[in-house]
Amino acid sequence: DTGVSQDPRHKITKRGQNVTFRCDPISEHNRLYWYRQTLGQGPEFLTYFQNEAQLEKSRLLSDRFSAERPKGSFSTLEIQRTEQGDSAMYLCASTLDGRGGYTFGSGTRLTVV
């Protein structure tokens, strides 16, 4: 296990299309977070899973966004009816019981044209 993996690394999509991203956390980490980062800004929290349970969602997460972690391992983030404002880097991070040492994946860069 070499860390947090995200797929794809880059995604270009037309406005109105749906996209789905995947995150594979470090295997023993039970907590998984999704963040969004726009150019020149720090990452902003989107949502959090403890095992398979989605326990918190940011107000940034509109109803077009949905996330799952069906077996408490990998997670997916889906954006429906993409808008240009969704263009950003989507980062996944994981940790064990929130004891620090949050490890980030390389992110998925989404460009909506």
Partner 1 sequence: GENVEQHPSTLSVQEGDSAVIKCTYSDSASNYFPWYKQELGKRPQLIIDIRSNVGEKKDQRIAVTLNKTAKHFSLHITETQPEDSAVYFCAATSRGGAQKLVFGQGTRLTINP
**Which DSSP symbol is given to 51?**
T
Rg (CA), the chain: 13
Residue 18 or 51 with smaller CB distance to partner 1: 51
Among 26, 2, 6, smallest CA distance to 102 is for: 26
Rounded to whole angstroms, the Cα distance separating 77 from 69 reads: 9
**Residue 56 contacts partner 1 per CB under 8 A:** yes
Least spacing, CB of residue 16 vs partner 1, in Å: 27
Residue 37 or 80 with smaller CB distance to partner 1: 37
Among 21, 48, 65, 90, binds partner 1 (CB under 8 A): 48
**Residue 107 contacts partner 1 per CB under 8 A:** yes
Among 92, 65, 94, smallest CA distance to 8 is for: 92
Rounded to whole angstroms, the Cα distance separating 112 from 11 reads: 8
Among 12, 16, 51, 55, binds partner 1 (CB under 8 A): 55
Least spacing, CB of residue 46 vs partner 1, in Å: 9
Can you say whether the dihedral through the CA atoms of 88, 77, 49, 75 is positive or negative? negative
Residue ranges in contact with partner 1 by CB under 8 A:
31, 33, 35, 40-45, 48, 50, 55-56, 91, 93, 95, 98, 100-107
